[in-house]
Amino acid sequence: MAPHRKSRPPSPMGIRTPAIATAALTSVALLSQTANASPSEEPRPSLEEVEKKVGDLYRQAETASEKYNAAKEKTTKQKKRVDTLLDDVARRTEKLNDAREELGTFAAAQYRTGAAAPDTASLLLADNPQDYFDQTQLMDRLTSRQKQSVDDYVTQQTATTEKRQEASESLETLTRTQSSLKTSKADVQRKLATARDLLSKLTTEEKARLAAIERQKQEEAQRKADELARQQAADAERRRQEAAQSTGTSTGTGTSGSGSAASTAKADKALAFARAQIGKPYVWGASGPGSYDCSGLTQAAWKAAGVTLPRTTWDQVKAGTTVSVNSAQPGDLVFFYDDISHVGIYIGDGMMIHAPKPGAYVREESIYYMPIHSVVRPA
């Protein structure tokens, strides 16, 4: 060993100092915890958070369903328009060909007899026949019948060109609505898949607690429905008493009475249809006969009564007279949420028939199960 270097006395038993040993043990423990932990694992949401998230997803899915219904209805109408335009173009093209053939016949005859300039036949190839006629002053050399043939040809070509352009624009619109339809469908499916995934992760105990929360919600909604039923009954009794007191002073109801009776008859038919659908599954985008979404059910019910309603909740809410909740009568449409994404048909006593949500069936339920937006009387 070199004389200038000093040897270090070994630690007893080869053990490090306490501070170093403690730090080493702490590091090992932390490394062990890090290795055992799953860095990508997210905190498990509470049951209340799951219940709210699933409810929000169902609402969002129903809104997306109404967008799908609107796009589907628009696509159907646009496709019919395109088909009509294409048929019209085909008929006009046939007439144009007939006019061209007749025009070509007399042009060829004139060319053979030398009665017209050789370039007369080229008018059939002109982009704008009228400009061609103006430039060559050909019209001055034509007979009355020939002039009529030229007029027919020009008219048919102009009309056919316009219809082809219109059909082309309609096809472009159809492509856009079909794209919107596809987007809305994917949006519904994505939200429903997320909701199913959240519910599938619940334990048996959590599912039981979630069912208990649902029962409490149903009970509270039913309590409010009973209150409305009592209030409506009291209002009806008061109106009967007022009518009895005014008997003899009125000149009769005449037209008004018959109109009310007709409306009541239609409402009864709509309700009878809706009751017959109870137990059928909710399927988004469906309008019967085996399954329904909310607006599909109300549309089908009123159709059975001879009243045509639009397809979506956003259009149905405009298809009638808005009345107060307290004035709601059987057959009225009850709309829900600020975005008007759900609808049911009122049956009286604060109750309705509706197609609730995915996984559920058409059923009777309190109108207070969801926040009410408005009540509309279709007829």
- Quick one: average pLDDT of 11-34? 46
Determine the pLDDT at residue 190: 93
User: Is the Cβ–Cβ distance between 352 and 276 less than 8 Å?
Assistant: no
C-alpha span between 265 and 309 (Å, rounded): 17
Does residue 98 register a pLDDT over 70?
A: yes
Determine the pLDDT at residue 249: 52
Q: Which of 70-84, 128-142, 258-272 has the lowest mean pLDDT?
A: 128-142
Q: Where are the alpha helices (DSSP H) in the chain?
A: 18-36, 47-113, 129-136, 144-200, 204-245, 254-276, 294-304, 313-316
Long-range CB contacts (within 8 A, 24+) of 172-178: 173/78, 174/75, 174/78, 174/79, 174/82, 177/71, 177/74, 177/75, 177/78, 178/75
Determine the pLDDT at residue 13: 43
Residues with catalytic function: 294, 342, 354
123 vs 223 pLDDT, higher one: 223
Q: Strand order of the sheet with strand 321-323?
A: 321-323, 372-377, 333-336, 342-348, 351-354, 363-366
C-alpha span between 81 and 93 (Å, rounded): 18
212 vs 152 pLDDT, higher one: 212
Determine the pLDDT at residue 66: 93
Determine the pLDDT at residue 149: 67
Q: 284: closest CA among 33, 24, 13, 61?
A: 61
Determine the pLDDT at residue 147: 63
Q: Which of 62-66, 121-125, 211-215, 244-248 has the lowest mean pLDDT?
A: 121-125
Q: What's the distance, Cα to Cα, between the start and end of the chain in Å?
A: 112
Determine the pLDDT at residue 93: 81
Determine the pLDDT at residue 245: 87
- Quick one: average pLDDT of 41-48? 74
- Quick one: average pLDDT of 82-104? 78
